[in-house]
Amino acid sequence: MTQQRMLSGIKPTGDMHIGNYFGALKQWVDMQDDYDTFIFIPDYHALISVQDKEKMERLIMDVAINLLAIGLDPEKVTLYKQSDVPCHTEACWIFNCLTTMPQLMRGHAFKDNEAKNKDVSVGLFDYPVLQAADIVLYDAQLVPVGEDQRQHIEMTREIVRKFNNTFGDTFIEPQAVIKEEVGTIIGSDGQKMSKSYGNTLPVFASETETEKYIKSVPMDSKDISEVKNPDEYPLYSIAKLFCNEAQDTELRAMFEQGGVGYGDIKKHVTSLINDYLRPMRARRTELENDLDLVKNILKKGAEKASNIANAKMKEVREKVGFEIK
């Protein structure tokens, strides 16, 4: 049986944190064995906010390194950057002509920026259309993403229907794959983990930084002997992400049985987290010292992705009437 194709991307902006990792990226690593997997770095999208050559270059390499360090295997995954396949923007233009302003005015990113009275670039406004092109040029069936991307995938489906109705069956409607059970990932202050709240734990933080982060998580003034419900503590909601079943049972017992001080629970949690992340952190250091390897992986990925996307684009050009015979 041929494998289903899954495709996803992560914007190259800043440190990858454990909210990104458990919210979406880990799914990609888990799925790569069973799906024909395409992962790309949306650098055209990044240009909306990153307008500095050095910063862009660094961010692209950083994301590539991070993705490989968390366990994406270039033997199984086609890893590439969006700008190496320029027909994404060509498809975007064609979709622009089929998409209305009111459709895009419903977009979260647009509405948030409007509400804050920020200048909205045409690029930001058009973000969902480029994202649709990213997905459909590859006939991807599945798009594993975080909850925040649900609307974008829905817009992709609308664009596919519009194109297919206008020019004949060409694209398939992709499905979002959103891991419900992960839920919202909580940061050190009990709010959703997000860069904008400054409460994130970067995957590639040092062990000492991880220790400091865990120390900063607020507890309460309950006595050491009291019985506690782990589900009421941000500390537990962070820690459980890193636990297998046995580790989870052990950790819950530390709260539920009383007798273990918060300092000791925090030490325990810190080592759970550091043990989990240590191999990824080590791999990241190796890759940083072998940038040619990373560049080569991106180049190979771009070749494979281009073959597929260019063939699809040819079909699109033909369908809209650009290929006169």
d(CA 25, CA 9): 9
Closer residue to ligand TRP in complex, CB, 19/42: 42
Of 7-15, 111-119, 192-200, 239-247, the window that binds ligand TRP (rule: CB under 6 A) is 7-15
Supply the minimum distance, in Å, between the C-beta of residue 280 and ligand TRP. 20
Among 5, 45, 252, 266, binds ligand TRP (CB under 6 A): 45
Which amino acid type is present at position 290? D
- Phi/psi of residue 71, nearest 5 degrees: 120, 10
Supply the angle between the helices 108-115 and 122-136 in degrees, to the nearest 10: 170
User: Taking CB under 6 A as the criterion, which residues in 147-206 touch ligand TRP?
Assistant: 149, 152
Which amino acid type is present at position 19? G
131 counts as binding ligand TRP under rule CB under 6 A? yes
Closer residue to ligand TRP in complex, CB, 65/143: 143
Closer residue to ligand TRP in complex, CB, 44/255: 44
Of 6-14, 201-209, 238-246, 261-269, the window that binds ligand TRP (rule: CB under 6 A) is 6-14
145 counts as binding ligand TRP under rule CB under 6 A? yes
Cβ atoms of 204 and 284 closer than 8 Å: yes
Closer residue to ligand TRP in complex, CB, 138/236: 138
Q: Which residues, 6 or more positions from 9, have their beta carbon under 8 angstroms from its beta carbon?
A: 39, 40, 41, 42, 45, 82, 134
Among 135, 142, 159, 265, binds ligand TRP (CB under 6 A): 135
DSSP calls for 108-160: HHHHHHHHTTPPPPHHHHHHHHHHHHHHHTTT-SEEE--GGGHHHHHHHHHHH
Q: Which residues bind ligand TRP (CB under 6 A)?
A: 7-11, 42, 45, 131, 134-135, 143, 145, 149, 152
